[in-house]
Amino acid sequence: MLDKSILEQVRGIFAMLDDQYTLNVNYSPERVDAQELIEFVRDVASCSPKLDYNLNQVGGNALEFSLYKGNTDTGVKFRGIPNGHEFTSLLLAVLNADGKGKNLPDQSIIRRIQALAGEIHLQTYVSLTCTNCPDIVQSLNIMALFNTCIDHEMIDGALFQDEVNNRNIQAVPTVYANGKLLHVGRGSLGELLQELEDM
């Protein structure tokens, strides 16, 4: 599914990974795009001996995968197929989990992230053509990686249109925290962190 030149670049990016990672896939065989997701995950996992994948056939409308470090869920989930601008978000999620990302925050920001109390479930609705969406997705993935009480899922709105309609989402990125609207539009890690601290 991914072309050879992209796969070659990803092999180079993942060449220095230290830990073992698994892309844990849940999919419904009733979805027409399930095979596309499986091929995408297989391609990504083929880029490093440190990457593996699990396929879990489930019911409902599932089309998602979570990033595991060893046997531990990192709290980072992608609902949909993170192509386009969100492909970088997936690559950075793996690199950041390994401590090798280029957009990791400084210690004062990390301490604030770790100080966020209680379970926080974050959801970001995106479009794969949106240029502002990856900044939000990557910032919230970082929060999930540094605070085990936080999880974050990127949701491709085009593939979960019922949810977009039910929540009357008019623009992307749109972020929900524990089911309540938190943020719409472009933003930074600092802005999102402040909004979560003010919740």
Residue 62: strand, helix, or coil: coil
Burial of 124 (0-12, 13-18, 19+ CB in 10 A): buried
pLDDT value for 146: 97
Percentage of the chain exceeding pLDDT 90:
92
Give the DSSP H/E element, type plus range, for residue 136.
Answer: helix 133-146
Q: Distance (Å, rounded) from C-alpha 10 to C-alpha 114?
A: 30
Confidence band of 50 (pLDDT split at 50, 70, 90): very high
**Cβ neighbours around 3 below 10 Å, total:** 8
57-103 pLDDT per residue, tens: 998 899 999 999 999 999 999 999 999 889 999 999 999 999 998 77
How remote is the C-alpha of 142 from its chain's centroid? 10
What pTM does this model have? 0.96
20-43 pLDDT per residue, tens: 999 999 999 999 999 999 999 999
Is it the case that residue 2 has pLDDT exceeding 90? no
Alpha-carbon distances, residue 52 vs 42, 48, 77, 136, 155 (angstroms): 8, 8, 15, 26, 22
Confidence band of 45 (pLDDT split at 50, 70, 90): very high
Amino acid residing at 183: H
Look-up: residue for tokens 């909004």? 195
